[in-house]
Copies of this chain bind each other. A is one copy, B any other.
């Protein structure tokens, strides 16, 4: 992998053309030569591919288990990532541990790759906490449910990194629908203006709940960034290797003072928007079938086979791990207990607050009444 982005490496118009969507591995598992991007993954051998594969299988299992936990009433809601494993893992695995990710609600695999503990993935969905982890422990911000808001946070964080004189990079994850929000566009304006070391990583999973991407954009999503002065790449989001290469390029550009880059990972939301959603109301089942043929996990399996890896053995090991992970997830989930009532007042402010402290005391007195009665 190159350590610098050569001066000659320019993200050209062709990178953002449909025809030129970056793909290094076909759905059939064949490795496609690409002189521009191959050098960026020349260090990615069979072992690392196998570990991507493992991560993808594990998060898919986590996802399935979480969906089951929701169905069983253990979670209030779950937004499945099914189908987007490659986009999330290919990119997150390219990050350095000091890089900082600002995600939306669906990036469970990003959180996983960053080291978020299993039950922490579920806290906010179980409703026992507003968010699952301390952002500074894993360098992943609290997930943003307000669509697009996090892109500005990533830009601000990146600006801070520049001021600190470090080569840490911020990456913002968001969806195709998010690109319509003012905030995402303002983030591009600010990132370009301040040349902030930020990567805009758009998972275009073709849908924003029930709205196909065509409602948001008539062009490719990746076409938008260049007008803001931000180079962009369109990449096969179901190809973990291509995503990995593209993210490395973008990160390296940012680290070396090249400013922001925009990546559109073309992928597909194979499941419902969330466990509350019913895609049969709006989605043609054939479309799903087409995309199932482009499954991100299957193709790496085939690629590994082509590389003479014993995929059956790998599968056995990985599936065992997945079973264990699912068990741990479930156990962790049901163990997540509701916090005590008065904690509702915690962390509104960083210190004393005359109004809120009084309200808290009043409520404590009110609650104590019941204890007395009992």
Contact = CB atoms under 8 A, between A and B. Distances in A.
Interface in A189-206: 189, 192-193
A186 interface: yes
19 contacts: A180-B186, A180-B189, A181-B182, A182-B182, A182-B185, A182-B186, A185-B185, A185-B186, A192-B218, A193-B215, A193-B216, A193-B218, A217-B228, A219-B227, A219-B228, A223-B229, A224-B228, A226-B227, A227-B227
Copies assembled: 2
B229 A219 contact: yes
Contacts of A193: 215-218
A315 interface: no
Nearest to A259: B218
Contacts of A227: 219, 223-228
A308 B238 CA distance: 68
A186 B181 contact: yes
Contact of A218 (B180, B182, B229): B229
Interface string A168-192: 0000000000011111011001001
Contacts of A218: 192-193, 228-229
Contacts of A228: 217-219, 224, 227
A192 B193 CA distance: 25
3 A-B pairs closest in CB distance: A182-B182, A218-B229, A185-B185
Interface in A223-257: 223-229
A215 B194 CA distance: 8
A228 B219 CA distance: 6
Contacts of A216: 189, 193
Contacts of A229: 217-219, 223
Contacts of A224: 227-228
Contacts of A223: 226-227, 229
A18 to B, nearest CB: 14
Contacts of A181: 182, 186
Interface in A333-352: none
Contacts of A226: 219, 223, 227
A265 to B, nearest CB: 17
A192 B180 CA distance: 11
A183 B181 CA distance: 9
A219 B186 CA distance: 15
Interface in A244-298: none
A183 B192 CA distance: 18
Contacts of A192: 217-218
A215 B192 CA distance: 9
Given A182-B185, A182-B186, A219-B227, 11 more contacts: A180-B189, A181-B186, A182-B182, A192-B217, A192-B218, A193-B215, A193-B216, A193-B217, A219-B229, A223-B229, A227-B227
